[in-house]
Amino acid sequence: MRVVIAAARTGGHINPGLAIANKIKQEEKDSKIMFIGTTEGLENDLVPRAGYELKTVEAYGFNRKLTIENIRKIIKTLKSKKDAKKILQEFKPDIVIGTGGYICMPVFMAAISLKIPTVLHESNAFPGAAIKALSGKVDEVFVGFEDAKKRLPKAKKVVVTGTPTKVEDLNLTNEQKSKIKIALGLKENLPVVLVFGGSQGARSINETMLDIIRTNKNTNYQIIWAAGQSQYDIIKEKLEDAGLAIHNLKNAKIVPYIYNMGEVLNACDLTVSRSGAMTITELSKVGKPGIFIPLPYATENHQEYNARVLADSGAGKIILDKNLNADILSNTIQEILTRAVS
């Protein structure tokens, strides 16, 4: 089977695409898979690293305000249909799969014009603009949440599949967990709090974690913190201003991105994160408690909706972004870790 996967910009779009690709290769080893993305997103790192070919086209996200810049972006994105069509004609895929985001617009317009079978996957309960716009034109839409079905009234066929992920419950022994901690530069005898804000980082979470480290609140636990590639250098400078070296912190390890997230999730004791659909899926898989700080500007407030799925079942706590500070977050961490140990 020959497959094209459209996935770009963030881990929330790219990682489900990679999980789908891996599953296809597992089932049909001779399958040929190509990704189409942009020149600016995280796909330029993650896709080749996973061993898949990546082609790029020019595509942009834009907001609803009618500005000259937005009009330019719309025109460039629509024009890139020609480039996407050329890629598809050369590769000759049996199917085109998209995992949401603006990259889907030119790729799927091209695929539909060439009469190639098309499938979209939407991880969130509230479908994004590209999914909504294309849902009535593609052959099928797969969704991560049952609630998403009613929000796609124009779709020909909607199937609830959950969100594909590479993360699994590894059932690690204590010895295996210790090896992962040592490899990360962490201590074996302290609880581990994994902090991440999505592939691009989350500014409010990062600022709060900086305050926790600067005020030495993490004496009873240690932090492995994926700060985001775009924010890592900013955090490094802010630590230096406080007289701290990013590579020599007490009970804390800061990195731009965690590539072995499956292992680290299995080895940690608690997570602090946003609550995108991928995060909710991964934590459910490994059974780890989480502290969720939903992105306040997410469409239809869908991240808070996602977080409540786990919080209502006792698998986590929610701190709204407007209430977030170092004292509240550190106290909540201490409370959960104390309860987990006792």
The domains spanning 2-160 and 174-341 adopt the same CATH topology: yes
Domain 2-160 class in CATH:
alpha beta
CB atoms within 10 A of CB 278: 27
* Three-state SS sequence of 48-117: HHCCCEEEECCCCCCCCCCCHHHHHHHHHHHHCHHHHHHHHHHHCCCEEEECCCCCHHHHHHHHHHCCCC
Task: Kindly report the pTM of this predicted structure.
Answer: 0.86
Count CB atoms within 10 A of the CB of residue 253. Answer: 17
Ranges of each domain in the chain: 2-160, 174-341
Alpha-carbon span 7 to 99, nearest angstrom: 6
**Cα distances (Å, whole numbers) of residue 287 to 89, 275, 283:** 44, 15, 6
Q: What SS3 state is found at 244?
A: coil
Do β-strands 222-226 and 95-98 pair in parallel, antiparallel, or remain unpaired?
unpaired
- 282 contacts 242 by C-beta, under 8 angstroms: no
Q: Does domain 174-341 have CATH number 3.40.309.10?
A: no
- The per-residue pLDDT string of the chain (342 residues; one tens digit each, 9 = 90 and over) reads 999 999 998 888 999 999 999 999 999 999 999 999 998 889 999 999 999 999 999 877 656 566 777 777 777 777 889 999 999 999 999 999 999 888 999 999 999 999 999 999 999 888 888 899 999 999 999 999 888 899 999 999 999 999 999 899 999 999 999 999 999 999 999 999 999 986 666 889 999 999 999 999 999 999 999 998 889 999 999 999 999 999 999 999 999 999 999 999 999 999 999 998 889 999 999 999 999 999 988 777 888 988 988 898 899 999 999 999 999 999 999 999 988 655
